[in-house]
Structure 1
Amino acid sequence: MEFTDGDTYLSSFDSKAYLTSFCCLGSERDGILKFRMRKLYETFGPGGITGDVLIDIGTGPTIYQLLSACESFPYIFASDFTDQNRQEFEKWLKNDPEAFDWSEIVKTVCEIEGKSSDKWEEKQDRLRSRIQKVLKCDVNKSNPLDPVEIPPADCLITSLCLETACKDLDAYYSAIRNITKLLRPGGHLVVIGALGNTYYRVQQKDFFCLSLREDTVINAITQAGYKVLSMDVFSISEREAHSNTADSMANFFLVAKKS
């Protein structure tokens, strides 16, 4: 399908509908979500990546990707291109009663981390206290956070962002180089993405996805000056593949270190 440009996202993307379709447990998305949450805990849990500053590139309206990281990073910057995504994230940040209900996701993360699910509110509050700013972001810019400048991060995380923001492989390679400027030498990059995905659907509207292969992702990361430390792939089940919300064949979870 044709590339979905920024103006279309700003005018047509329904953040709450996206959350309902892609971030609810008890649906065909369970396997994918739990894979990501387990890998995030393995990455940021005991003996994992630590530091001071973490930047989440393309946060979207979601919080799950930061729930384990907030135990290891005291200064977290969220960012997204789409205004309504940042607004939805801000609703959660301010504990707005109209915000999406993340309780089941947070309880599941607590259980993955070996804690009582009763601690879920404490976990949410900890993450809220770590969020420094919610910034505008465009990975296709040389400085994705322009005009804001912040100290080089110890870790970057980006989840299901680059393949939706980049119209072709040249743009994908360029976007990785752009976000890398925000990371200090020796810092870590964590990428969650989809393989073989050409679209995803929110409220009967299809949005473009750049179809990626495993070797393409590794090559792009390596060429941007990283050593790939690990790449785990989770194959989509038949049930998930026929969910009618996306045509992804697999999700991947990659960790790399900047030279």
Structure 2
Amino acid sequence: MRQPHQTTPSINLSSSVLKPVKGPSLHFLSPGTGILHFKPDGVKGNTLIRIGAGPTVFELLSACESFKEIIVTNHTDLSCQEMQKWLKKEPGAFDWTPVVKYVCELEGDRKKWAEKEEKLRRTVKQVLECDVTKFNPVTFASLPPADCLLLSQYLGAICKDLSTYRAALKNVSSLLKPGGHLLMVITMKCSHFVIDQNKFPCLFLEKECLEEAVKEAGFDILAFEVTPICYPSSLIEHEGISYLVASKGKGKED
């Protein structure tokens, strides 16, 4: 199994394009950053679990307005440590301020960035290590079933083949209550990505394969949108970013 490269997260907002993609439950804003904006009358609830994606917060900045608590999981202990640094305002924590201000601007009030940071810190209740390819449900035994699962740019980087991808998706589906929502941000037809001049392989995903995997895991797809290519080809070979909204079928057992 491939291990994702550990590095300090960075965001280049100047290369982002504000191009909303509307779905039945939320808007996806600024595809180049993976920033999500939840509609006030859309996906919401008590608990959101963010699966993987490293020690980042940009995909959670809007979610903290729609969920009472957020549980963050990361693939490695190092990512968990980095996340805790930011949550606890420890020295050396990554400065997400420019991203927070940008999200607040998208939401209508850039001046509320400090309030947004503090609200997210209060809303994140736990940070857990979780390798979805070696899923241990005991780790989550004390957690209530989630209202929403968020997977952003993660499974394709750590799953070596489609069978592993399907199994991982089924594993995490057990954390979601029937009728709950799955939100996914996926790099489509990606062969590799580059970090610090090092090339890392990525699982090549096409729309049909992804839809099949989601349905096999017990979900009903509500929306599937694809944006144009938004990352530089020097960093990643791909054919666009997809945004998927699905619901876990009621009455379907894990």
Shift of 1:38: 8.2
Matched, 1:180 2:173: yes
In structure 1, runs of 5+ residues without a counterpart are: none
**Any idea what SS the aligned residue of 2:67 has?**
coil
**Distance between the aligned counterparts of 1:148 and 1:256, measured in 2?**
22
**Any idea what SS the aligned residue of 1:256 has?**
strand
Matched, 1:87 2:81: yes
Matched, 1:31 2:17: yes
**Distance between the aligned counterparts of 1:117 and 1:108, measured in 2?**
7
**1:142-166 deviation per Cα after TM superposition (whole angstroms, max 9, x unaligned):** 43x6434211101000101110111
**Distance between the aligned counterparts of 1:232 and 1:36, measured in 2?**
14
Identity rate of aligned residues, in percent? Answer: 39
The answer for the alignment partner of 2:54 in structure 1 is 60
Partner amino acid for 2:31?
F
**1:194-246 deviation per Cα after TM superposition (whole angstroms, max 9, x unaligned):** 00111111112222210101111111111111111111111115xx343x211
Tell whether the 8 Å contact from 2:34 to 2:185 is kept in structure 1 after alignment.
no
Shift of 1:39: 7.0
Partner amino acid for 1:226?
F
**Distance between the aligned counterparts of 1:207 and 1:38, measured in 2?**
20
**Any idea what SS the aligned residue of 1:229 has?**
strand
Partner amino acid for 1:5?
R
Which of the pair is proportionally richer in helix?
Answer: 1
In structure 2, runs of 5+ residues without a counterpart are: 19-28, 250-254
Tell whether the 8 Å contact from 1:15 to 1:84 is kept in structure 2 after alignment.
no
Tell whether the 8 Å contact from 1:229 to 1:257 is kept in structure 2 after alignment.
yes
Shift of 1:61: 1.3
**Any idea what SS the aligned residue of 1:63 has?**
coil
RMSD of aligned Cα (Å):
1.9
Tell whether the 8 Å contact from 1:70 to 1:130 is kept in structure 2 after alignment.
yes
Which has the larger displacement, 99-108 or 175-184?
A: 99-108
Matched, 1:118 2:148: no
Shift of 1:135: 0.1
Residue from 159, 167, 190 that aligns with 1:166: 159
**Distance between the aligned counterparts of 1:139 and 1:80, measured in 2?**
9
Partner amino acid for 2:57?
I
**Any idea what SS the aligned residue of 2:31 has?**
helix
Partner amino acid for 1:34?
S
The answer for the alignment partner of 1:246 in structure 2 is 236
Matched, 1:15 2:7: yes
Shift of 1:37: 6.5
Residue from 194, 207, 211 that aligns with 1:214: 207
Matched, 1:40 2:36: yes
